[in-house]
Amino acid sequence: MTSVTTVSETRSEVFVGLDYHTNGVQVCVLNGAGATLGNHACANESGRVREYAEGFGRVRGAAIEACSGSADLAEELKQRHGWDVNLAHPGYVAAMKASPDKHDPGDAHTLADLQRLGYLPKVWLAPRAVRELRTLVRYRQQLVNERRTAKLRLTALLRERRLIGPERRWTKAWLAWLEHAADLGEHGNWVRDRHLASLRRLAQDIRAVEERLSDATRDDPVVSRLRDQPGIGDVTAWVLRAEIADFGRFRSGKQLARFCGLTPCNASSGRRTADAGLIRAARPQLRATLIELGHRLRRTVPRWRSLSQRLQQRGKPGSVIAAAVANRYVRKLYHDMLRAV
């Protein structure tokens, strides 16, 4: 009996590297031996990328650096065309490059080769729902940053005029004094009014985005479990849900704490041992949120207050204590969240 071999079975397997840009994608295709079969700029469309790459063989794996927009393209290639696509960490990829030169064909080739060899530093591809939540959470943080900037400019204006109001700033009484009693001069008063109008607008925008976040996460079981944890309110729960998303994707609480940027950085060499602060990792908003949580926990929860007191006795400053509390709390939170599943 003669066996029939289909065309798909005889096609060679290829590895694809995608150097993503808003206006196009550089596509490099390698065979299993590492030989370049093609390296071409395509339109930023998943269909065009697939058409070019699959002209050389069946795609066994593809890699694309994690950047703005690349996750959407990776998801399209996975869902519509069945590709095995991995996001790559840009910093680690740059460190692993064999050449100091930077150009699109070379970057795409590096990604394809790392995918082929199994050395690609992978980054988790968040589902679309998580990416949408991140959009809201990060927009809220942008508004909060704008509000802080407006407040700093107002206090700078007062300091320049050597004006001191009621003792507690930003209370209703202090704002009433600022608006009606503080004389900042003709132009200073005009600038003050503009800043106060910005603060009122930002307060409305922040309330609006928080209402939308509340609606978006009302039926989210992960957010509900996070709110049940001590010290975690709505904003902290939203940030953790958006940035961490799935606690089960981490192997341990220690790995999660490292992802959150709460792990001390070791700077040892030979006989010299030094502490270089926290590792440079995580989104600033995620780490800042958790360190703020550490400050709250060390004042309100007996377990963490006890740890804080022990560290204080050893001469540790408050910022270091808050980071240590946040580190250990996140490790505990990891196990609590997995047990709740």
**Residues 235, 259: one domain?**
yes
142 Cα distance to chain centroid? 14
Percent of the chain surpassing pLDDT 90: 79
**Residues 256, 148: one domain?**
no
Encode pLDDT of 243-300 as tens digits: 999 999 999 999 999 999 999 887 776 776 666 688 887 889 999 999 999 999 999 9
**Residues 114, 147: one domain?**
no
Closest CA relative to residue 158, chosen from 129, 130, 181: 181
List own/partner pairs for 226-232 with CB under 8 A and 24 or more apart: 226/337, 229/333, 229/336, 230/297, 230/300, 230/301, 231/293, 231/296, 231/297, 231/300, 231/301, 231/329, 232/293
Q: Supply the pLDDT for residue 5.
A: 37
**Residues 115, 22: one domain?**
yes
1: pLDDT strictly greater than 60: no
User: Does 4 fall in a domain?
Assistant: no
**Residues 204, 314: one domain?**
no
The three-state secondary structure class of 257 is: helix
Q: Supply the pLDDT for residue 8.
A: 43
Q: Supply the pLDDT for residue 266.
A: 75
Domain C-terminal end among 216, 236, 265:
216
**Residues 84, 158: one domain?**
no
Percent of the chain surpassing pLDDT 70: 94
Encode pLDDT of 323-337 as tens digits: 999 999 999 999 999
User: Does 1 fall in a domain?
Assistant: no
What's the domain count of the chain?
Answer: 3
User: Does 229 fall in a domain?
Assistant: yes
Closest CA relative to residue 56, chosen from 35, 74, 41: 35
Domain C-terminal end among 108, 123, 138:
123
User: Does 284 fall in a domain?
Assistant: yes
Q: Supply the pLDDT for residue 341.
A: 59
Q: Supply the pLDDT for residue 324.
A: 95
Q: Supply the pLDDT for residue 11.
A: 64
Q: Supply the pLDDT for residue 220.
A: 95
**Residues 117, 144: one domain?**
no
Encode pLDDT of 141-193 as tens digits: 999 999 999 999 999 999 999 988 888 899 999 999 999 888 898 999 999 99
**Residues 170, 236: one domain?**
no
User: Does 102 fall in a domain?
Assistant: yes
Residue position matching structure tokens 């994707």:
249
3: pLDDT strictly greater than 50: no
pTM, 2 dp: 0.87
**Residues 200, 247: one domain?**
no
Confidence band for 100, pLDDT divided at 50, 70 and 90? confident
Encode pLDDT of 55-84 as tens digits: 999 999 999 999 999 999 999 999 999 999
Confidence band for 230, pLDDT divided at 50, 70 and 90? confident
Angstrom distance (rounded) from CA 28 to CA 86 = 15
Residues 6 or more apart whose CB falls under 8 angstroms from that of 72 comprise: none
Angstrom distance (rounded) from CA 135 to CA 213 = 10
User: What is the span of the domain harbouring residue 138?
Assistant: 128-216
User: Does 33 fall in a domain?
Assistant: yes
**Residues 140, 171: one domain?**
yes
Instruction: Write the CATH number for 48.
Output: 3.30.420.40
Question: Which of 9-23, 133-147, 202-216, 227-241 has the least mean pLDDT?
Answer: 9-23
Domain C-terminal end among 189, 216, 243:
216
**Residues 134, 209: one domain?**
yes
**Residues 99, 174: one domain?**
no
Whether residue 243 contacts residue 134, with contact meaning beta carbons closer than 8 Å, is answered with: yes
